[in-house]
Amino acid sequence: MRIERVETYPLLYRLPEAYGDANGYKRYRTTYLIRLITRSGIDGWGEILDWLPTLHVGFRERIAPFLIGKKATDRRTITEVVNKWHQRSAAGVSMALTEIIAKQAGLSVCELWGGKVHGKIPVYASFQSYRETDDWAVRSLQQVTSQVESGFKRIKVKIGGRTIREDHKHIEALMNSLCPDVCVALDANQSYDLAAARDWEHLISRYPNWMWLEEPMPMDRVVEYVRLRAALPIPLAGGENLVRCSEFLPLLHQGAIDIVQPDPMHTEGLDAYRCQVELSRQFGYRVSPHAFDGSLSRLYAIFAQACLPAWSKMQDQQIEPVEWDVMENPFTHLFSLQPIQGEVIVPDGVGIGLEPNWEIINAMHWDGHVFV
């Protein structure tokens, strides 16, 4: 079970047209796949998100040589060392080691984690609402309509990237165009202060079909989140960029949010991610993972969600949904699961139960190296 070979696959796709959120425009999509192979031929895949040139150099010069010869079963120790150098690489290495261990045991990831509770996981269509054209709002409505017609009944759109007046107009038109059974989340990407966030109160109060308001303010403003939660008739959600369980504790202790949103790629590894999920449940909170920037990391979020006990005793309540990127991005199909009517079936095969799409890897390969 010692690691004999490390393969890296930096992948780059340049968008023909930019799209974005309150943080700015995306002009390309990237991901960084790693493949660890043991002396017995068992392999495992991981995914990392960061600036490709520096990530690639760091992984090639330090992390890959460190991994060669290590026992895959020493997952926690290996992940802790890599985390000291680069947290997001630790998350990817953790994924690959987890798959190797599951394959060695002849188990699926869910079985390795104690068995799945849910065979299907709901997903919501996640949009980047802004374009660099004057008709951005019209095009936003068109892309939402297209995904709703394809079967999604849960969607998330962006606010905070235009004036509040412009965003109000966009969201009002959107809500008036949707059937009441389509539920909507608003994501502000921490764009507002408390006063600006409260300026949404009159519009939000007009519609019943909200999922949540996501990260309207910086997540360290815990007291202001408590005040906002008491003022707005919509659940508050957040936490995608929090790395450690300790960073979630003030939010949970003080009742600052309703829905916790960890991201598997933003933690110190899958053990840390599952700790965040379980901790939130122990505090009685809902968990709806952030998983916009990766196909493999989204799959692990689905696995963790499948193993998570339901938040409610009510029989008609599903497990909380996982984010699903519906924007132009070939990497969302790297480890392909296809939503059917807004749900995905959890894979049962050994390991992750899926193979990567080599056509995408070969077509989008930016550069690569093999370490032995």
Residues serving a catalytic function are 158, 290
Buried b (16+ CB within 10 A) or exposed e, 138-166: eebbebbeebbeeebbbbbbbbbbbebee
CA dist 36 and 165 (Å) reads 50
In the numeric block, the tokens 């759109």 are attached to: 157
84 CB-contact burial (10 Å; exposed 0-12 / middle 13-18 / buried 19+):
exposed
CA dist 314 and 334 (Å) reads 35
Largest Cα–Cα separation, the chain: 62
Buried b (16+ CB within 10 A) or exposed e, 273-295: bbbbbbbbbeeebbbbbbbbbbb
Give the helix ranges, DSSP H, for 87-221: 87-105, 109-112, 136-149, 164-177, 194-198, 201-204
Contacts 24+ apart (CB under 8 A), 280-285: 280/248, 280/252, 281/308, 281/309, 281/311, 283/252, 284/311, 285/252, 285/257, 285/258, 285/259, 285/260, 285/311
Cα dihedral across residues 103, 104, 107, 108: positive or negative? negative
| Cα three-residue angle 314-316-321, rounded to 5 degrees | 100
CA dist 266 and 19 (Å) reads 22
Buried b (16+ CB within 10 A) or exposed e, 344-363: bebbeebbbbbebbeebbee
